Every structure is written in structure tokens, then in C-alpha cells.
Amino acid sequence: MRFYTQNHHHVCGVDLHTKTMYLCILNQSGEIVLHSNMPTDPQPFLKAVEPFRDDLVIGVECMFSWYWLADLCLHEHIEFILGHALYMKAIHGGKAKSDKIDSEKIARLMKGGTFPLAYVYPPELRPTRDLLRRRRMLVRMRSEVLAHIKLTHYQYNTEFFQKNINKRGNREGIERLFSDPTVRKNIEVDLSVADHLQDEITQLENFIIRKTKSFDPRTFYRLRTVPGIGKILALTILYETGDVNRFPTVQSFASYARLVKCSKESAGKLYGYGGSKIGNPQLKWAFSEAMCLFMRESDRAKAYIAKLEKKHGKGKAMSILTHKLGRAVYFVLKRKDAFDENYFFS
């Protein structure tokens, strides 16, 4: 956990919502000089903070509508910091809770040097990262549609599909396996939706790949030197990581990617592990997929897993390999070097 510890003449805590925002500005003495509710519009916000813009910092809890405010502060040359939502538990405590109270609590955290920082993702990369996340959502929708076709097959115990229906060419004529016209129509709708989603997914992938090749092709191809990391996993790791230099150590990167668990200790006693849900779920998914594909393509990875299984079991062995792969990717990004399997297993 990182905290914002810099001192400013004025600190502004913002309890941000989609339609309204509550501002609380403190001076160096900790006195409230502005406490106001206003619509989420740039002009009222800039007018309210205008008298305090000399050495001002804006703090907001990380939620889905912070993009516009971060971009506005960047354009107006106002310091902006983002608070980690899971660590800002102080604003959720207390007997009473309101937007006015929360905005003051955020400002007090900033003033006291206990404001937990989250990463403000660069605005030029944000749209592509969000588009890549949308692509993953469409893939899940397509999988649900294809799964419904299989469930319908099991319900009516029809002739078994001879080929994998994930491929479009293998889905031709499936609806004719069902005699009931209503069931057949149900399958036709599923097939139409699956084909349309596949077309949209392919277009998204081609668009993102073209954009990446014009933005940072070297890093994209360096990531693909890792066995098992293809185009989509390389894009996910590239855009979800952003600037790798924001991670001072490989341990912080592994923690951000949810590849490690944190121990809970008190008075020399271990009470278990936690923090598995804090971090980036997209990176966790990408490295888990990469580990499975790495095992499929590398005989040395299979032997490594077999060796670890004898001591830790299969699940723990796969987690260790995923962590090791995440560390390797960190150094590929940090050192701007290709993946070396001999060095990886040395």
C-alpha cells in the first residue's frame, strides 16, 4: 500500500458521483475553507477551486466515473490523485455517512498523509484498454451462447456433435438435429448471435492489433516470445500493465497481478492469508491462461510441474509456475529483452 505524503497549501477531497460531486477544501491549518455540493460539470468545479489553485491537490476515490475529472485536472495543470477504493475504509466508518461527511474524510486523509494511492492510468491508453476489456466481455457472451446449444443437446439427447462447435465451420447443420420446430428456432437464434459476436470480436482484435503496432510494436513482439502468450494475452498484459516502471520491484508487480497472497500475522502467530481479490483481475486471468498454454507448448514446463507436484500438489505447483511466469514477464518488460527459456529454468 502506498500513501500520498506531499504537503500542499490546499487539499480538496471530492466525493464523486455520476450527477453530483461534493467538494471539501482544507487549508494548511486543517480548516475547512470550502464545503459545497455541485453538479458533475467542469465549469462549476473550476469556478469553485479557482481561489485555491495555488498549490492545490485534488483527491478522488477510485470509481468508474473519474476519467473526466482526471483529464480536466491534467489539462488545467492541477495535481490529481486517485484513492484505492478497497483501502479507503476510513470514509465508510463512523456513526453517520453522507456525501458531505465523505468529502471531508477524503480531505483529512490527504492532509494527514494516509491517502491510499491508486494508479491514474494515462488518458492516451485508456480507450484501448477499455476496448480490450469489452472484447473479453463479448467472448464470454459468445461462450454462454455456445454453452446453451450444448445444454439444449443434453436436454433432448439428440445425436452427439462430432466436432467442436467453437469453430464456425463445425456448426453448420446443427439445428437440423432437433425435430421440434420451436427448439430448432431456439438453436438458430443462438447460432446467429454466436456468428455475429464472432465477427465483432474479430474486428475488435484486428483494430486493437493495428493500433498497438503503431503505438508500441517492440514490446508487443517481446511479450510474444514467451511460449503460450499469443496476440490477445500479449495485448492484455501490455495494456493492463501500462508503464512497468511504476512497479519499483518485481514483488509489487506480482502482487498487483494477484499472483501472490499476503500473510496475516499478529504476536508471532500466522492467521492465514488474504488479499487475493486486491489487484488487477485482467492480469490474473492473462497469466493463468499463459501458464496453461506454456505447459502445453513446453516439455520443460511439464517436467517442472511434475517435480513440484510431488511436494506441493497440482494446484500449488501450477500457482508457483504462474508466479514464476509473471516475474519473467516483468523482467521482459523492464529490461526490454526477449524471453529466454534456458534462463527461466536455470
The tens digit of pLDDT for each residue in 86-128 reads 888 766 777 788 889 889 989 999 998 889 989 999 999 999 9
Say if 132 falls within a structural domain. Answer: yes
Residue 224, domain member (yes or no)? no
**Cβ 37 vs Cβ 47: under 8 Å:** no
Residue 222, in any domain of the structure: no
- Per-residue pLDDT, averaged over 327-336, amounts to 94
Which structural domain range is residue 177 located in? Answer: 126-215
Q: Are residues 268 and 307 in the same domain?
A: yes
Which of these three, 158, 185, 215, is where a domain ends?
A: 215
Clarify whether residues 132 and 114 are in a common domain: no
**Is the predicted pLDDT of residue 205 greater than 90, yes or no?**
yes
Query: Where is the domain boundary, 215, 247, 268?
Result: 215
The verdict on residue 311 lying in a domain is yes
User: CA torsion sign, 127 to 130 to 132 to 135?
Assistant: negative
Whether 106 and 16 map to the same domain: the answer is yes
- Mean pLDDT of all residues belonging to the chain: 90
Dump pLDDT digits (tens) for 29-62.
999 999 999 999 999 999 999 999 999 999 999 8
User: Band of the pLDDT at 313, cuts 50, 70, 90?
Assistant: very high
Domain shared by 208 and 237, yes or no: no
> How would residue 76 be classed by pLDDT, with cut points 50, 70 and 90?
very high
Are residues 173 and 112 part of one domain? no
Confidence band of 160 (pLDDT split at 50, 70, 90): low
| Assigned domain for 226 exists | no
What residues have CB less than 8 Å from 178, skipping those under 6 apart? 152, 156, 158, 184, 187
User: How many separate domains does the chain show?
Assistant: 3
* Number of neighbours of residue 155 by Cβ within 10 angstroms: 10
Band the pLDDT of 203: cuts 50, 70, 90.
Answer: very high
Residues 13 and 78 in one domain: yes
Is residue 15 one of the residues assigned to a domain? yes
Same domain for 134 and 93: no
113 and 168 assigned to the same domain: no
Q: What is the CATH number of the domain that holds 9?
A: 3.30.420.10
Element (H, E) at 204: helix 181-215
pLDDT at 200: 94
3-state secondary structure of 30: coil
Q: Are residues 274 and 315 in the same domain?
A: yes
Domain end point (choices 118, 146, 176) = 118
Closest CA to 42 of 8, 71, 13: 71
C-alpha cell at 241: 500493465
What was the pLDDT predicted at 74? 94
9 located within any domain: yes
Asked if residue 144 is part of any domain, the answer here is yes
* Helix (H/G/I), strand (E/B), else coil: 248: coil
**Looking at the structure, do residues 22 and 86 belong to the same domain, yes or no?**
yes
What is the structure's pLDDT at 90?
Answer: 67
The answer to whether residues 8 and 114 belong to one domain is yes
**What are the counts of helices (DSSP H) followed by strands (DSSP E) for the chain?**
12, 9
* CA pair distance 45, 14, nearest whole angstrom: 10
Tens of pLDDT, residues 169-198? 888 888 888 888 898 899 899 999 999 999
